[in-house]
Chain A
Amino acid sequence: QQQVKQSPQSLIVQKGGISIINCAYENTAFDYFPWYQQFPGKGPALLIAIRPDVSEKKEGRFTISFNKSAKQFSLHIMDSQPGDSATYFCAAYHSGGYQKVTFGIGTKLQVIP
């Protein structure tokens, strides 16, 4: 059972465009939603995260939008650059979950010049 559903699995965006990755979750006990970025041959690294009491969080060109009632959240990458080409994982965590994080299946983003 996939508790965090992520789409699309792959995404090609022109340089300067907006990349959008969507995630949905089922477990209402989740109370923290991090996004991880993974470059080829590297381990995932935390990119940005949001709590469900906030509808949007922005850090530079990266924005998370959160819809608690719909149990959905998304990552927007503005002015996408070739250096953003990586695999992006949404994730969900609930306090009391012994730091267990449930990851989405990942989205491979390619930004073409």
Chain B
Amino acid sequence: DTAVSQTPKYLVTQMGNDKSIKCEQNLGHDTMYWYKQDSKKFLKIMFSYNNKELIINETVPNRFSPKSPDKAHLNLHINSLELGDSAVYFCASSQDFGTHSYNEQFFGPGTRLTVL
């Protein structure tokens, strides 16, 4: 069973299009995240949701809009795609938000987005 799954795995699209990436976790975790990994492998957090509530929003253009229909899902919608959006996007989840102790983040397999 896949703990954190993402679809699609690959996404190739034209500049200006709108696209979505879906994420689901079956770990029963309370917190989910979106990370962007650029071509140099740098991994940077974009958003974090806890029980469907936005907790972290890291200076991400408002073309990016996360949506959490329930605590097991966190989707990422991107409007008006730009060349610089090309990257690998990782979804992750962790348990027990707010316990003031680190909880392991479990990452999905990633979605490679290529904007032409």
A interface residues with partner B (beta carbon < 8 Å): 32, 34, 41-46, 49, 87, 89, 93, 95-96, 98-101, 103, 105-106, 108
Contact A44 B94 (CB under 8 A): no
The 10 closest A-B pairs by CB, nearest first: A43-B107, A95-B100, A32-B102, A106-B41, A103-B43, A46-B104, A98-B55, A93-B102, A44-B107, A43-B90
Q: Which residue of B lies closest to A49 (CB)?
A: B102
Residues on A with beta carbons closer than 8 Å to the beta carbon of B105: 46, 99, 101
B interface residues with partner A (beta carbon < 8 Å): 4, 31, 33, 40-45, 48, 50, 55-56, 90, 92, 94, 97-98, 100-110
Contact B56 A100 (CB under 8 A): yes
A78 to chain B, nearest CB (A): 23
Name the residue among A43, A93, A96, A108 with the largest chain B CB count within 10 angstroms.
Answer: A43
